[in-house]
Amino acid sequence: MNPGMRLRRSAFLAAAALLAASLSLFLPLAIDESDAAQPAAPKYIFIFLVDGGGITHMEITRMFNRHVHNEGLVIADKIMKEGSVGLLATHAADSLVTDSSAAATALASGCKAKNGAVGVCEDGTIPKTVMEVAKEKGMRIGLVTNSTIYDATPAAFAGHVPDRKLYSPIIDQYLELEPDLLLGGGRDLFLPRSQPGSRRKDETDMIAAFRKRGYTYVPDKQGLSQAKGGKLLGLLSLRDMSFEIDRDKNLEPSVYDMTQAAIRILQEGNRRGFVVLIENENIDSAGHLTDVAALIHDYREFDRAVGLAYEFYKKQPKETLLLVTSDHESGGLAFSGKPSFDQLKKIHSIRISFSKAIQILGANPSSEAVDQLVAENFKGFVLKPELKEALIKRKPIGPAFMGNPTATALGAMVASQTQAYWISTYHTNQPVFVAALGVGAEKFRGYQDNTDFAKHLFALLGRKK
Ligand SMILES: [Zn+2]
């Protein structure tokens, strides 16, 4: 190359640089405009799922917060007011009323499923879940629940089995997929058969198997609070985790505590973002037991967890999508008649869940034990003679009330004296709300099918970064 050429070349480069610099003053504007029509994919996606939570469950908790604690409700006051609200139809492929597995399959994969099927469509095809697609894109994925970690809802986001009771295969599929975070109850099916508390049929140590894949394992609240980055397996209870009203706050983390840990861990050293499912199963369990006090306490804690994600969104509003929805309503709960606001304070005076009452009274309770339990834990309530007799003689009350007679008798007592009534101990066909805030939130507006929820997530995940 002769010196003349070098000069000409550098002059050309300088001119090109000048041109690029002047163009760059205008180019970003043009790019911004096209991005407004097609915003980038959300980098951080929160899916909060209140299992069994209906609109009335939320509303009762909202009123409880206002009149008992002088507090708001993040879901209603922040997410719904600043974002979008929609309704999702919930029916299963083979029933007007869905169970958690068919509904979670619809929400996670976008196809209708038969009740009982986890991550398997009505026609038998195995769809991809939003978690699997996110993982393929290099995002981190997490499952958080206060149910057992292998229960139908988390399972349908990361596994595929024809029957929700195939727990061990679900755990094997988790090991194969390697979600970055697994937090919940259900240590019983990870322990080898010979260890106390195990419900496994073999001697396989699944905790050791996860450790071999690089997971850190934590068994309790303290371990969870100290856990750092990497892959984490937290089995925080032998079976289901406690109702919030009964929880030992020193030993067992709440959904709020788990959400705090999930955000910290999924964010660490993470450039491509994350998708996390955070489920509160206890709203459904309280519905099956007709236990309005336990329900409200758990809903409040769930809402505090949503509050953590809302704070996260406030810091990164252009990169975050925050979704709150449910799989179905449980129990057909509603206030009816002309209850005063003081009924909420009466519910607040209840000290334990019905689940705890069942434990305390056992299968063969004496009349004195029942009186003592009501006097100590349900102050101001009166267990009428016919309800007490049904409890002691083990007869569930009402045509649509099955399950534990202690729960149905206490449920009838609380309902008649607070006017918060239940129509059954099963799921109902109510549509559920979906509240959405952040990148892509507008897609979830209006009346849609629960399969649309996954379809929108697939579309958002398919967008360019
Ligand atoms: Zn249920």
The CA 100 to ligand 1 mean position distance, Å, reads 6
pLDDT at 400: 75
292, pLDDT greater than 80: yes
- DSSP string covering 293-351: HHHHHHHHHHHHHHHHHHHHHHHSTTTEEEEEE-S-EES--EE-S---THHHHHHHT--
The CA 308 to ligand 1 mean position distance, Å, reads 26
Of 322, 264, 309, the C-alpha closest to 457 is 322
Residues annotated catalytic, as ranges: 100
pLDDT at 403: 84
The least confident of 99-113, 142-156, 451-465 is: 451-465
pLDDT at 25: 41
pLDDT at 35: 44
Q: How confident is the model at residue 12 (pLDDT cuts 50, 70, 90)?
A: very low
The CA 223 to ligand 1 mean position distance, Å, reads 30
Could you give the residue ranges of the DSSP H alpha helices within 117-242? 130-136, 152-158, 167-177, 206-212, 221-226
pLDDT at 463: 66
19, pLDDT greater than 90: no
Q: How confident is the model at residue 26 (pLDDT cuts 50, 70, 90)?
A: very low
Distance between CA atoms of residues 210 and 233, nearest Å: 8
pLDDT at 32: 40
With contact defined as beta carbons under 8 Å apart, do 413 and 69 qualify?
A: no
Distance between CA atoms of residues 418 and 336, nearest Å: 9
pLDDT at 39: 60
Section 207-221 average pLDDT: 98
| Dihedral sign, Cα of residue 326, residue 332, residue 337, residue 339 | negative
The CA 330 to ligand 1 mean position distance, Å, reads 7
With contact defined as beta carbons under 8 Å apart, do 352 and 243 qualify?
A: no
Q: pLDDT digits over 393-449, tens only?
A: 998 887 778 889 999 999 999 999 999 999 999 999 999 999 999 999 999 999 999
Q: pLDDT digits over 148-191, tens only?
A: 999 999 999 999 999 999 999 999 999 999 999 999 999 999 99
With contact defined as beta carbons under 8 Å apart, do 162 and 117 qualify?
A: yes
Q: How confident is the model at residue 218 (pLDDT cuts 50, 70, 90)?
A: very high
